[in-house]
């Protein structure tokens, strides 16, 4: 079970546990007097001293084992897990923004009811602060892409990726109030993001995201990338994976994006944001990584 599913499971148990305690509290008093008596008692005694926290959920579940409440919790868990399995989910991500066309990009996404995650560069965030605020206000996920987008500078040392992401994080937080830990390194994490570099950013709480499908949208100004993405989604769907798709915040990509979004809607795909509660997906070095310039 994934970290996200565990969190949902815990939250669900917490909510049900809290409801049960409140109901028992009210029912207990209802046998002792009128509704007015109950209100007087509540005012005197206040709410229950302790509502089970999420970390106590397993003990709560064990206590209720065999009861109708336990059965209900287990059934709900199964429904949530099955619902996620049945959903056709894709994660659209856009790098290098925000661009001068970012508002148009948001208009297109809004029109199709699509969600997306934006990995943005600090200088561009400063250049277009209003569109970044719009992203946050309308419920998109915002992440970090560094400062320079220059491989030589970004991968210069173990500390350089960390420093660029920290600077990017400060810029984003100052403008939006969001302290994002979602990051994507320029050109992807292989081959220049050495294991020692990865440990450094993880130490400071950053979550490294790569992708499952590279659209190659930057290679041309045509709609060719759309077919590439659709074929990739079909393959990922066949192996039961919810793909993370790499796109770029640029005019030609935005121009043909409606074709992709229309196909997703017609084929009943759901677009979602990447979240900090998810298990981040990144490429593994597997002896492929090396220092830049070596």
- Residues carrying an active site annotation: 95, 248
State the Cα–Cα distance between residues 185 and 197, nearest whole angstrom. 11
The answer to whether residues 213 and 236 touch, using CB atoms and an 8 Å cutoff, is: yes
30, two tokens = 């209802």
Q: Check the CA dihedral 281-286-288-293 and report its sign.
A: positive
State the Cα–Cα distance between residues 288 and 102, nearest whole angstrom. 35
Residues in Cβ contact with 105 at an 8 Å cutoff, skipping those fewer than 6 apart: 94, 97, 99, 249, 254, 257
State the Cα–Cα distance between residues 264 and 94, nearest whole angstrom. 17
Q: Check the CA dihedral 171-177-181-187 and report its sign.
A: negative
Task: From 64, 91, 76, select the one nearest 244 (Cα to Cα).
Answer: 91
């Amino acid at each position: 079970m994934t970290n996200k599913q565990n969190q949902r499971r815990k939250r669900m148990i917490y909510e049900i546990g809290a409801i049960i305690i409140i109901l028992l509290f009210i029912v207990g008093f209802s046998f002792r007097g009128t509704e007015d008596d109950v209100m007087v008692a509540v005012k005197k005694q206040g709410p229950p001293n302790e509502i089970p926290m999420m970390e106590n959920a397993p003990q709560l579940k064990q206590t209720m084992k065999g009861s109708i409440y336990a059965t209900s919790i287990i059934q709900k868990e199964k429904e949530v897990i099955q619902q996620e399995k049945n959903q056709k989910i894709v994660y659209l991500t856009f790098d290098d923004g925000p661009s001068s066309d970012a508002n148009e990009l948001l208009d297109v996404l809004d029109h199709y009811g699509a969600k997306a995650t934006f990995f943005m560069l600090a200088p561009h965030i400063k250049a277009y602060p209003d569109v970044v605020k719009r992203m946050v206000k309308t419920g998109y996920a915002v992440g970090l892409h560094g400062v320079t987008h220059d491989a030589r500078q970004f991968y210069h040392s173990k500390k350089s990726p960390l420093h660029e992401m920290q600077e990017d994080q400060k810029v984003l937080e100052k403008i939006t109030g969001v302290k994002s830990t979602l990051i994507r390194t320029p050109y992807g994490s292989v081959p220049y993001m050495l294991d020692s570099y990865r440990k450094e950013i993880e130490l400071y709480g950053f979550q490294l995201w790569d992708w499952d499908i590279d659209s190659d949208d930057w290679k041309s100004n045509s709609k060719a990338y759309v077919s590439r993405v659709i074929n990739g989604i079909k393959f990922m769907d066949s192996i039961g994976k919810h793909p993370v798709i790499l796109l770029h915040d640029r005019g030609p990509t935005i121009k043909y994006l409606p074709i992709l979004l229309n196909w997703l809607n017609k084929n009943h795909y759901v677009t979602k944001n990447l979240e900090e509660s998810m298990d981040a997906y990144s490429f593994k070095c597997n002896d492929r990584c090396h220092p830049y310039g070596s």
